[in-house]
Amino acid sequence: MKNTHIRKSLTGISLLLLLPFLPNLRAAPQPAVSLIELWVDASEAPRKIFHVRMAIPVSPGPLTLVYPKWIPGEHGPTGPIVNLAGLRLEANGRELPWRRDSRDLFAFHTEIPMSVSRLDVSFDYLSPTSPGGFSTNPSAKLAVIDWHLFLLYPKGIDPEKALVRPTLRLPAGWRWGGALQQRIERSDEVAFEPIPLFLLVDTPIVIGAHYRRIELAGAPDGLPPHVMDIVADSEWALDIPESRLSAYRQLVREARALFGAMHYPRYHFLVSLSDHISHFGLEHHQTSNNQVPERFFVNDEVHRRLADLLPHEFVHSWCGKTLRPHGLVTADYQQEMLTDLLWVYEGLTQYYGIVLAVRSGLLSMDEGRQLLAAYADELNHQTGRRWRPLQDTATAAHILYTAPVEWANWRRGVDFYPEGALLWLEADVLIRRLTDGRRSLDDFAREFFGAGTGSEGRIFVKPYAVEDIYAALQKLAPYDWKGFFTARLAEKQPRAPMGGLTEGGWTVSYREMPNPFVLSLSEEVLPLPSSLGLVVKEDGLILDVGRETPAYRSGLGPGMRIIAVNGRRFSREVFLQALASARDGRPIQLLVENNEFFTTHELRYVGGVRFP
Ligand SMILES: [Zn+2]
């Protein structure tokens, strides 16, 4: 499916941003496209409620307002409509009735009376109180202002043409940071310049009681301004070691060297430091939203585990936002997105993100290899490989992002990230081999995503199809690229693509200590050898069991809790010790609780304690 609504270039955006007010940009027919006023009152963010008011230019007759449903970067219909409450529509001070669409729960119908030209809309956004998924939730001391949460817009308008003039009220004493252009700031209230709706949605900002702004690069480096806007739950979390900062400065220069052009007038890395918010990153053209633990900058271990996050989201400005698969370019936020090419959008970004993390010094070369070894080991023990090809993890992405952890090994998850990185590493090694080392995926970055697009400093979207990827690679190094990718994507493969590692001269070796990236994203999970097929928490609760693995054959399943190992109370040490001493073939005796019932299990596993 092709939808090219946003494909045309967006020349003139920066000019529009400079105008304090724009007269009606009327696009026929209904609904009118004009300046929408938006007031977001975030003064009660710490108690998880936002108050929203809008003034929308309208014409008499039927009108449908919609709440953004398909959120760019989240690759799914994740707009949290359930959190919209207190909706009230008014015209000339009189309340108007509304009715939700029976089929599309994101749409509200109303009738605009004669001689009414302005609709006043108000509602509250009820924020989640605890972390979960992509939903951004405020902590007591900070919040991310994701504008799509606070917007209703007339169905059918062009988000590129409709202008919004946002005003934001902050909690007392909080400050804000981000790429929006400020018009007026008075105590605790900031008015921003009018901005096209799509660009507002694409430009979240952070607000917080503890805020630090760091210039990473700018005119003296011959680059557009690059700023890090950090909000935190504490002042100490902002105390970033200088060596770490200089690696982030280097990241900007390395990205410039890799892509050769920057498709934005400025770039802001938003970083929220809190243990009480969801932890993830989300990409935008001129911004990335990075939500990480409070100790991210000050603790080496925490930083290492997430060191490729900012590089990954930064790479997306080129791979994902500017160059974007056709299926992810939609007319507005109500059109469904097709995710088949996420193995490029996310997989290649994962690859370049790791490359840039290593080149900029955020990860050492050795850590980069350990990360790839952890990917390879986990993917090679993914029992779901027997039924689900990699392509299907991309096609079904929006159900897999929110899939439960139980049976994840057999179901497979969003494997196009780690497996995508290995896949593209293999492509890189192949290009180098085919060209006697003269070309690499660096050239692909420059020619397909960067300088080759002939644009600098300008925000635009250029859609591509998979054939464009094959053709660009073909130009770089003649080869059957379609065959190369089809075999690894569409066909069931018992093993992850290991060619990049092996052809590059590496093998995955094993030792008794886990490398820091093994199961690194979940601190409470006990790292176990992948070949055992068991994911268990530190308290013995089994999170996942792979099909036809030693754990599965012993009768274990997710939700059970291991109480004792060889007659002794379960603990991390007791379990790992039992694995180590079971090399002689004696089964490990497990006492397991399943709801209120106890069972015993014999676990036959002779692999010992082996980590990549
Ligand atoms: Zn991504």
Question: What is the pLDDT at residue 523?
Answer: 62
CA of 365 from ligand 1 middle (Å) equals 22
**Cβ-Cβ contacts under 8 Å for 213 (sequence gap 6 or more):** 177, 227, 228, 229, 230
Q: DSSP string spanning 24-65?
A: ----SSSSP--EEEEEEE-TTGGGTEEEEEEEEE--SEEEEE
Measured between its terminal Cα atoms, the distance across the chain in Å is 42
DSSP-assigned beta bridge partners for residue 564: 569, 591
The model's pLDDT over 395-408, given as tens digits with 9 standing for 90+, comes to 999 999 999 999 99
CA of 531 from ligand 1 middle (Å) equals 28
The model's pLDDT over 467-492, given as tens digits with 9 standing for 90+, comes to 999 999 999 999 999 999 999 999 99
CA of 184 from ligand 1 middle (Å) equals 34
Question: What is the pLDDT at residue 190?
Answer: 97
The model's pLDDT over 214-254, given as tens digits with 9 standing for 90+, comes to 999 999 999 999 999 999 999 999 999 999 999 999 999 99
CA of 486 from ligand 1 middle (Å) equals 22
**Cβ-Cβ contacts under 8 Å for 340 (sequence gap 6 or more):** 325, 327, 391, 394, 395, 466
Confirm if 199 and 13 have CB atoms less than 8 A apart. Answer: yes
3-class state of residue 322 by DSSP: coil
CA of 177 from ligand 1 middle (Å) equals 22
CA of 346 from ligand 1 middle (Å) equals 5
DSSP-assigned beta bridge partners for residue 123: 52
Q: DSSP string spanning 237-300?
A: GG---HHHHHHHHHHHHHHHHHHS---SS-EEEEEEE-SSS--EEEE-SSEEEEEE-TTTTT-H
CA of 399 from ligand 1 middle (Å) equals 16
CA of 350 from ligand 1 middle (Å) equals 7
Alpha-carbon span 403 to 412, nearest angstrom = 9
CA of 222 from ligand 1 middle (Å) equals 27
CA of 348 from ligand 1 middle (Å) equals 9
Q: What are phi and psi of 85, to 5 degrees?
A: -140, 160
List of the chain residues with pLDDT < 50:
1-32, 521
Question: What is the pLDDT at residue 522?
Answer: 57
Alpha-carbon span 106 to 85, nearest angstrom = 13
DSSP state of 582: G
CA of 312 from ligand 1 middle (Å) equals 6
CA of 75 from ligand 1 middle (Å) equals 10
Give the burial class of 472: count Cβ atoms within 10 A of its Cβ; 0-12 exposed, 13-18 middle, 19 or more buried: middle
CA of 138 from ligand 1 middle (Å) equals 22
Size (the chain), residues = 612
CA of 320 from ligand 1 middle (Å) equals 8
CA of 197 from ligand 1 middle (Å) equals 23
The model's pLDDT over 526-537, given as tens digits with 9 standing for 90+, comes to 888 888 999 999
CA of 57 from ligand 1 middle (Å) equals 36
413: left (phi over 0), alpha (psi -120 to 50) or beta: beta
Task: Give me the sign of the Cα torsion angle 562, 567, 572, 575.
Answer: negative
Domains of the chain plus CATH, in order, are 13-315 (2.60.40.3650), 332-342+371-503 (no CATH), 525-603 (2.30.42.60)
Cβ neighbours around 117 below 10 Å, total: 14
In 298-436, which residue ranges form alpha helices assigned H by DSSP?
300-305, 309-315, 342-345, 347-359, 365-380, 390-395, 397-400, 408-411, 418-434
CA of 603 from ligand 1 middle (Å) equals 38
CA angle 77/81/83 to nearest 5° reads 135
> For residue 328, what are its two tokens?
């992810």
